[in-house]
């Protein structure tokens, strides 16, 4: 991949950040769907099923209706994973551990308060502490304390000091687990953020050193050699009296002066990009994912030419265009040129074969025209030998409301 302002690497995609199992908290449906679902559910489901099956051991269940209610509530908990969570309110997720807490209450009433199955009350506590927010853990802790009160008031247990002791100990244990696990999750999250910041800083330092070296080499060697060549040509022009020869030499000297200015712009772009993530890097990342990669040319100070919204629009349009066009049919080329008042992006390539080619370029490219019109950007589409040329002109100061559908 070539660039008009220097060679460029093709870095990979940035790592996805998020919560547990790569699926961030706050996304509708977490933790009931998404990556790592089986790893989250299987350990808890195995303990829950084992607790239900343990009631069959001698002397058997003491209350069949309570056992049936426990099984129904457990099945309702499992069925909740199939709900359309993205369309439900965010607070609805706390209902699942609360329903399972009700299943545990019915199971304890079916097996007896002295059966030992009461320890499964820790399941909803651990689940919410690992995968839910603090207020949801608080709701589950309160529900468990209510369950302990109900169990302690059954005829088989003497109320009074026993009730107070059970409520106090179970509430303290559940709170301890919730606070400890939430604190551990916060520390892990902070350590991950710190590691990401250190990695980004190390990458920036490495890139900065490379750019400083490239800029120094360009300034110390290339510019001086071009300048020396221009001076030599000027001296040569003074040795001839032929007007045409002098004109051509002076034209070559002017071309060398323009080359010096372009190299200095490239050096300035390297220095500017070292201070942040610029448009140049975004375009190279986008084109680097294509096979074969198109030729990329930059002219002028590209990195800070556009406002963030206009830059996002340009990248979106480039992405859609490169999906429609075929870089293998003709030599694909992407160029970004920045002037005093505008930034022009040009893509030249052929249409991809298949249904798009049979339906004609006008129909296939109409969506690109519509997207440009909605963004308030001028776009020119014209045929070239073997393909199509698209050019967008973004103003340096975007109009108010640009980018709004």
Q: What is the pLDDT of residues 112-154, one digit of tens each?
A: 877 777 878 888 988 888 888 889 999 999 998 999 888 888 7
Statement: residue 87 has pLDDT above 90: no
Predicted local distance difference test score (pLDDT) of residue 17: 36
Instruction: Report the range of poorest mean pLDDT among 59-73, 230-244, 269-283.
Output: 269-283
Strand-pair category, 325-326 with 342-351: antiparallel
Closest CA to 25 of 126, 93, 99: 93
C-alpha of 195 from chain center: 17
Closest CA to 40 of 61, 19, 26: 19
Q: How far apart are the first and last CA of the chain?
A: 34
Q: What is the pLDDT of residues 16-28, one digit of tens each?
A: 333 333 344 556 6
C-alpha of 205 from chain center: 23
pLDDT band at 271 (very low <50, low <70, confident <90, very high): low
Q: Could you state, in order of their start, the residue ranges of all structural domains in the chain?
A: 20-195, 209-273, 279-395
Q: Say how far apart CA 249 and CA 255 lie, in whole Å.
A: 10
- Are 63 and 109 in contact by the 8 Å Cβ rule? The answer is yes
Q: Concatenated DSSP letters for 7-60?
A: ------PPPP--SGGG--TTSTTTTSSSTTHHHHHHHHHHHHHHHHHHTTSTT-
Q: What is the pLDDT of residues 198-221, one digit of tens each?
A: 887 787 777 777 777 777 777 667
Statement: residue 330 has pLDDT above 60: no
Question: Looking at residue 266, what DSSP letter applies?
Answer: H
Mean pLDDT of 42-69: 85
Which architecture does CATH list for 279-395? 2-Layer Sandwich (3.30)
Predicted local distance difference test score (pLDDT) of residue 168: 65
> How many CA atoms, within 13 angstroms, populate the side-chain half-sphere of residue 368?
27
- Are 47 and 123 in contact by the 8 Å Cβ rule? The answer is yes
Question: Looking at residue 61, what DSSP letter applies?
Answer: -
Does an H or E element contain 139, and which? helix 134-152
Q: Which of 27-36, 86-95, 284-293, 328-337 has the highest mean pLDDT?
A: 86-95
């Amino acid at each position: 991949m070539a660039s008009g302002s220097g060679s460029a690497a093709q870095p990979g995609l940035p790592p996805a950040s998020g919560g547990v199992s790569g699926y961030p908290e706050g996304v509708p449906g977490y933790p009931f769907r998404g990556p790592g679902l089986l790893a989250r559910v299987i350990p808890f489901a195995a303990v829950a099923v084992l607790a239900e099956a343990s009631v069959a051991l001698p002397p058997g269940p003491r209350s069949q209706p309570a056992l049936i209610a426990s099984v129904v509530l457990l099945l309702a908990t499992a069925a909740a994973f199939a709900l359309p969570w993205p369309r439900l309110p965010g607070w609805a997720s706390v209902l699942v551990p609360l329903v399972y807490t009700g299943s545990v209450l019915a199971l304890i009433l079916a097996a007896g308060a002295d059966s030992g199955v009461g320890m499964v009350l820790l399941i909803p506590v651990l689940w919410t502490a690992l995968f839910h927010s603090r207020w949801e853990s608080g709701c589950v802790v309160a529900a468990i304390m209510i369950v302990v009160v109900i169990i302690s008031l059954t005829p088989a247990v003497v109320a009074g000091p026993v009730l107070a002791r059970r409520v106090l100990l179970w509430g303290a244990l559940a709170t301890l687990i919730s606070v400890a696990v939430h604190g551990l999750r916060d520390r892990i999250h902070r350590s991950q953020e710190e590691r990401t910041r250190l990695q980004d800083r190390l990458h920036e330092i490495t890139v900065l050193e490379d750019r400083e070296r490239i800029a120094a080499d360009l300034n110390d060697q290339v510019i001086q050699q071009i300048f020396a060549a221009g001076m030599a040509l000027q001296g040569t022009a003074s040795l001839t009296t032929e007007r045409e020869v002098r004109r051509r030499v002076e034209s070559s000297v002017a071309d060398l002066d323009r080359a010096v200015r372009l190299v200095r712009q490239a050096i300035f772009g390297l220095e500017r990009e070292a201070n942040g993530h610029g448009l140049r890097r975004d375009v190279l990342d986008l084109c680097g994912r294509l096979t074969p990669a198109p030729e990329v040319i930059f002219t002028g100070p590209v990195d800070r030419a556009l406002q963030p919204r206009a830059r996002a629009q340009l990248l979106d349009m480039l992405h859609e265009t490169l999906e429609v066009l075929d870089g293998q049919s003709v030599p694909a080329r992407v160029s970004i040129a920045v002037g005093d008042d505008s930034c022009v992006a040009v893509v030249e390539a052929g249409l991809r074969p298949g249904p798009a080619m049979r339906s004609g370029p006008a129909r296939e490219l109409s969506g690109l025209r519509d997207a440009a019109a909605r963004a308030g950007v001028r776009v020119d589409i014209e045929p070239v030998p073997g393909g199509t040329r698209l050019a967008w002109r973004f103003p340096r100061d975007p109009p108010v409301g640009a980018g709004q559908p």
